[in-house]
Amino acid sequence: MESHLEAEDVAQEFVTFLNQGTPPDIQAKAARYVLGLTGSEPGRSLLAAQKGLLQALAKLLEAPPGAAAGAVGDAWRALVNLCAEPGIHGSLLAALPGLPVQLLTWALAPNWPWAGEAAAALANLSRESGPVRELLEEGGLESTSDEANQEPSLARLVTALTTPGYNPHAPLHYLASVLSNLSQLPGARAFLLDPNRCLIQRLLPLIHCPDSAVRRMGVVGTLRNCCFEHRSHEWLLGPQVELLTFLLMPLAGPEEFSEDEMDRLPVDLQYLPPDKEREPDPDIRKMLIEAIMLLTATAPGRKLVKDQGAYLVLRELHSWEHDPNVQLACEKLIQVLIGDEPEAGMDNLLEVSVPPDVEQRLQQLDQQEQQQLQQEREEAVQTPSRLDGLGPS
């Protein structure tokens, strides 16, 4: 108890050290001390209870470029760590009201040197529903946020992600994570899926971004969330977007197909070079498969996915795949593609009502599957089997 009280007293003293006007060397040491505290859960919890210190830290974030760079950088990194702790989001937002919107403003400022850290902090903070809703309602995401910028903030976010050199001073990979978190809300998905805005089409090339797995994962997560909107499936799969080709490309390898099979694939997936590599991150591969699975939820979607040769790419992926969780997701999708059509009244699987007892049983079966996969992984590494015995119906 005494050590805890002493730590609180020290934290309160550091409010003075962080204030503007403090000698730069002392300010830098204070910021480094605060950053050290954010490296542990007890330290983050302690800081969350110090409203004055959090406000002093926020003031330091606003320092003009070039001023006390070391202290400001540590202050930003401390904020990123604080935002990574969901349990203290309430205290953090109580001390710093409007923080999500302010972080978005900084992240989208083209020349702000700490825009990358602002994006990372916002990516952590926006995992929770409260900050996401605040961004949607107060951040001007779906409407013009200020007179100087005639583009809504959500569109500006896409612009920042898709424009090379948008901010020459900071990488903005974590904006993709922010976009993925925002796309959990129906309003954000409706905005992104507006055919007149062409936002989805601008995101598609980033599926293959070689510079950052964070950016690829955020974009794929956004697209997967958008695939929950079944009314947009035919548009997404049609010639205006051609989403399936972009989802299948990272899953495709250098395998050769027969002429008949090759003709069934989209043109961009035909005759891939012998050095073609698949997406290296298994979590991203799984998300790509999940997005395609969502596109098969309706009868028109299933037909379009089948007609574009998705089974062929997934068959070869399953033969190559070494991650059990991705293998399982791949097998489930293949079964949908080669299986019989659902019975009458179940044409749209996203709208099927599942009784609570059945849902609970399905969750138990999923847990058993995961436990079995984990056990198999621990016992031995086995060569994945091909699905050559299966064929499209």
The confidence score (pLDDT) of residue 276 equals: 97
The confidence score (pLDDT) of residue 371 equals: 61
Residues 31 and 72 in one domain: yes
Residue bearing tokens 């702000």:
112
Torsions phi, psi of 270, nearest 5?
-90, 145
Sign of CA dihedral 54, 141, 228, 269: negative
The confidence score (pLDDT) of residue 364 equals: 58
User: Which of 318, 340, 362 is at the close of a domain?
Assistant: 340
Beta pairing partners, 149: 146
The confidence score (pLDDT) of residue 64 equals: 74
| In-domain check, residue 192 | yes
Residues 287 and 212 in one domain: no
Residues 78 and 128 in one domain: no
The confidence score (pLDDT) of residue 362 equals: 46
DSSP 227-258: TT-GGGHHHHHSTTT-HHHHHHGGG--S----
Residues 271 and 324 in one domain: yes
Torsions phi, psi of 146, nearest 5?
-160, 165
Give the separation between CA 139 and CA 122, rounded to whole angstroms: 12
Residues 75 and 113 in one domain: no
The confidence score (pLDDT) of residue 136 equals: 73
Residues 252 and 331 in one domain: yes
| Residue 158 lies in domain | 99-136+152-228
Answer yes or no: are the C-beta atoms of 99 and 157 closer than 8 Å.
no
| In-domain check, residue 388 | no
- Kindly report the CATH number assigned to the domain that includes residue 108: 1.25.10.10
Give the separation between CA 232 and CA 237, rounded to whole angstroms: 9
What six digits make up the tokens of 93? Answer: 């937002």
The confidence score (pLDDT) of residue 286 equals: 96
Q: What is the 3-state secondary structure (H, E, C) of 60-116?
A: HHCCCCCCCHHHHHHHHHHHHHHHCCHHHHHHHHHHCCCHHHHHHHHHCCCCCCCHH
The confidence score (pLDDT) of residue 78 equals: 96
The confidence score (pLDDT) of residue 381 equals: 41
The confidence score (pLDDT) of residue 390 equals: 36
Residues 252 and 296 in one domain: yes
| In-domain check, residue 145 | no
Residues 297 and 221 in one domain: no
Answer yes or no: are the C-beta atoms of 183 and 193 closer than 8 Å.
no
Question: Which one-letter DSSP state was computed for residue 156?
Answer: H
Give the separation between CA 290 and CA 226, rounded to whole angstroms: 12
| In-domain check, residue 180 | yes
Residues 330 and 272 in one domain: yes
What six digits make up the tokens of 90? Answer: 């309430």
Return the ∠ at Cα 39 (arms to 34 and 43), rounded to 5°.
65
Answer yes or no: are the C-beta atoms of 83 and 121 closer than 8 Å.
yes
| In-domain check, residue 365 | no
Number of domains in the chain: 3
Beta pairing partners, 146: 149
pTM: 0.84
The confidence score (pLDDT) of residue 374 equals: 57
| In-domain check, residue 236 | no
| In-domain check, residue 354 | no
Question: Which residue, 105, 97, 112, 15, is CA-closest to 63?
Answer: 112
User: Which of 303, 323, 340 is at the close of a domain?
Assistant: 340
Task: State which residues of the chain have pLDDT below 50.
Answer: 1-3, 145-147, 345-346, 352-355, 358-359, 362, 380-393
Sign of CA dihedral 293, 299, 303, 304: negative
Q: Amino acid identity of 380?
A: A
Residues 66 and 112 in one domain: no
Residues 104 and 172 in one domain: yes
The confidence score (pLDDT) of residue 151 equals: 75
Hey, what's the torsion of the CAs at 372, 377, 383, 384, to 10 degrees?
Answer: 40
User: Which of 50, 71, 97 is at the close of a domain?
Assistant: 97
The confidence score (pLDDT) of residue 388 equals: 38
| In-domain check, residue 355 | no
Residues 159 and 176 in one domain: yes
